[in-house]
Amino acid sequence: MLIGGIEAGGTKIVCAVGDRSGEIKAKQSISTRDPDETLQEVKAFFSDYELESLGVGSFGPINLNKNSDTYGMILNTPKTAWKHFDLLGRLQQDFRIPIFIDTDVNAACLSEYRHGAGKDVNSCLYITVGTGIGAGLVQEGRTFQGRTHPEMGHVIVPQHPDDTFPGVCPYHGNCLEGMASGPAIEKRHGRKGHLLADDVNVWEIEAHYLAHAIASYTLILSPERIILGGGVMKQDVLFPLVRQKVFGLVNDYVDMGNMNEFIVTPELGDEQGVKGAIALTVSEK
């Protein structure tokens, strides 16, 4: 039987058809416009297949509290056409099959856990450092949601001593996302991150913020592996800097093992999101 996967992002929605093993048989990328127009195209893509179930990894914030009347509704997003849009309700109307919905980062984390950089561990954290910063957590094959879902990108981090940048987060200013997302780097230094590759100071400051957040995540969640993805992490120089700073901050209080195996790159590339969405519908590893 076939399973549908939807990776719903602010700029594109990737749809795929696959099987329980995670093998993708067909895929299509649809640009994100207003909900109705976009989801009509999503429905048209899947209409060629007989699906058993559908998994959705969505941008957020999204209500993931199953006991709530607004379960599966997009919440306070700056994408105004999608604000308070009942995404799960609409998909249920369109497909009438079991639908499993989670955050995009939880889906990405589950994908890496099942098929990629987290294959050999029982728990892992996936962090994306891109236009925004977000993280998903998987423990024993299940993603963690809690009350709505974690928003780990918005933790408060201490200012770097040489950094006077106030941050770009509209809610908190200098939270992690405010200080270390791609747009934060661009605003602080006046140029996009990929043009700053040779400026060691840029990555020293970036690693400071990421490492403080990651040290806290490590102490709070105790994941066996931390996978760092997203556009900003294409700066390879960040990996050794972040590992070294996290090691220093935790100061041997907890055993993180070999730091090169503790903080790693993702393995799945382009199919990570849809494979994760499909994995949401399958309960075993």
Residues of the shown chain interacting with ligand ADP in the complex, contacts defined by CB under 6 A? 128, 130-132, 182-183, 192-194, 230-232, 234-235
Give 18 or 167: the residue with its C-beta nearer to Zn ion.
Answer: 167
- Identity of the residue, 105 or 110, whose beta carbon is nearer to Zn ion in the bound complex: 105
Cα distance between residue 172 and residue 245, in whole Å: 24
CB of 95 to ligand ADP, least distance (A): 25
Site for Zn ion in 63-92 (CB under 5 A): none
Query: Between 4 and 193, whose beta carbon lies closer to ligand ADP?
Result: 193
Q: Shortest Cβ distance from residue 230 to ligand ADP (Å)? A: 4
- Residues 155 to 214 in contact with Zn ion, rule: CB under 5 A: 169, 171-172, 175, 177
Nearest CA among 226, 227, 239 for reference residue 266: 227
Instruction: Rule CB under 5 A: choose which of 27, 43, 79, 154 binds Zn ion.
Output: 154
Shortest distance, position 129 Cβ to ligand ADP, whole Å: 7
In 10 A of CB 235, how many CB atoms?
Answer: 19
Answer yes or no: are the C-beta atoms of 63 and 83 closer than 8 Å.
Answer: no
Which residue lies nearest ligand ADP, judged by its C-beta? 182
Task: Select 89 or 183, whichever has its Cβ closest to ligand ADP.
Answer: 183
Residue 83 interacting entry, from ligand ADP, Zn ion, none, C-beta within 5 to 8 Å by type: none
Closer to Zn ion by Cβ: residue 170 or 190: 170
Q: How far is the CB of 135 from ligand ADP (least distance, A)?
A: 13
Cβ neighbours around 281 below 10 Å, total: 21
Least separation in angstroms between residue 165's CB and ligand ADP is 15
Q: Which residues pair with 229 in a beta bridge?
A: 128
CB of 183 to Zn ion, least distance (A): 12
* List of E strands, 9-44: 12-18, 24-31
Beta bridge partners of 225: 124
Minimum CB distance to ligand ADP smaller for 84 or for 194:
194
Partner touching 38 among ligand ADP, Zn ion, none, CB below 5 to 8 Å by kind: none
Residue 165 in tokens: 């940048």
- Which are the contacts of 201, defined by CB distance < 8 A and separation ≥ 6? 162
3-state secondary structure of 285: coil
With CA atoms as reference, report the closest residue to 210 among 148, 141, 167, 157.
Answer: 157
Side chain identity at residue 144, one-letter code: F
Give the one entry of ligand ADP, Zn ion, none that residue 235 binds, where binding means its C-beta sits below a cut-off of 5 to 8 angstroms depending on kind: ligand ADP
Whichever of 168 and 242 has its CB closer to Zn ion, that residue is 168
Helix (H) or strand (E) holding 224: none
How far from the centroid of its chain's Cα atoms is residue 3's Cα?
21
Secondary structure of the chain: what % helix, strand, coil (to 5)? 40, 25, 40
| Contact residues for Zn ion, defined by CB under 5 A | 154, 169, 171-172, 175, 177
